[in-house]
Amino acid sequence: MTIKLNKQLHNFSVQAYQSKDLKLWNSFVSEAKNGTFLFNRNFMDYHSDRFEDYSLLIYKAEKLIAVIPANRVENTLHSHQGLTYGGLVLDHSLKLNETIQIFESVLKFLETQKISYFNLKALPSIYSKYPSDEIQYLSFLLEGKLIRQDVLSVINNSAERIAISTIRKRGIKKAQDNNLIIKEESNFDSFWDTILIPNLETKFNKKPVHSLQEIKLLHGKFPKSIRQFNVYKENNLVAGTTVFETKNVAHAQYISANESKQELGSLDFLFKHLIDVVFKDKQYFDFGISNEKDGRNLNEGLLYWKESFGARTITQDFYSFETENHIKLENVLL
């Protein structure tokens, strides 16, 4: 379905995504100012059986200028619940005035579809190719509700680095004394089956977001973007991490080690190597969040470990918008 809007917005139209749009969608995401491979349909659709996809395409005249990866649950549109981040993915040429009009058009469209709320998980700023904080300003204009805020621990390689702590240096020295070896591998089985899954079950009674079958499928589609690094002692796997690599950021999606991590210094050794060697030319290294209970609590030990590498905090915001509040945007532009 397509809806044409009022005079102010007469050049904008909104459409729900259909499978016939796949190539157009993927081409747009690859060039968007704040697109990453997570928005590629070949990534999004691996869990299509779990969600009612309700992604949106926004056109100006006949040109696609924005997309929103999303799914619908009853009367609420969610910034896709199967993705770490989302929001409004924009053509790099768009300026703020047009972005405001685009968001107004989206909220109007959703209201006509009997969708009352739009829950949006913002893209952390480091993942965008260009400045892209439009959602934060729109939240102010629309009186959006901040429903969650996570903190990411990030190293900025383009700035003067904060020194690694003495305790991390000790861990690295232990690893060197134990003759640990780091390998990048395309096989995910050992890390998932012998370290990651058992640790998550024992410590948190949880499973990885991606099953072994899913991460292998996604790696097959994005071999340059999803990378596995393992640490060995005498051919025995002792630690590992799965890294999602985007244009600006190397993000540690999964981090885990066996019970010998303190004795061997395996994770300290691994991450010093990743930060200083493998991803030394990447603008940011993102350790991810240390939050629990929807951002209300912090795992202090995990946060301490990340910050002892010199990582510091940026935030990821989660907003809820009432679609009927599109009227608050009508007179913003003077």
Q: How high is the mean pLDDT in each 10-residue block of the chain (334 residues)? A: 50 95 98 98 94 97 96 98 96 95 97 98 96 96 97 96 96 97 97 97 92 97 98 97 98 96 96 98 97 93 97 98 97 90
Contact 250/222 with Cβ under 8 angstroms?
no
The phi-psi region of residue 312 (left if phi > 0; otherwise alpha if psi is between -120 and 50; otherwise beta) is beta
Q: Which two tokens stand for residue 250?
A: 């190397």
Tokens of 331: 């007179």
Give SS3 for 299.
coil
pLDDT of residue 5: 47
Identity at 265, one-letter amino acid code: G
Q: List C-alpha distances in Å: 57 to 2, 22, 31.
A: 10, 11, 15
pLDDT score of 3: 52
Q: In terms of Cα–Cα distance, which of 79, 20, 43 is closest to 253?
A: 43
**Degrees (nearest 5) of the Cα angle 315, 321, 324?**
165
- Beta strand extents in 206-333 (DSSP E only): 226-233, 236-245, 249-257, 284-289, 291-292, 297-298, 312-322
The predicted pLDDT at position 7 comes to 43
- Is 2-149+317-329's fold the same as 159-282's? yes
CATH class of the region 2-149+317-329: alpha beta
Task: List the domain boundaries for the chain.
Answer: 2-149+317-329, 159-282
The architecture in CATH of the region 159-282 reads 3-Layer(aba) Sandwich (3.40)
pLDDT for 334: 87
Please work out, in degrees rounded to the nearest 5, the angle formed at the alpha carbon of residue 200 by the alpha carbons of 195 and 203: 115
Tokens 């999602």 — which residue? Answer: 244
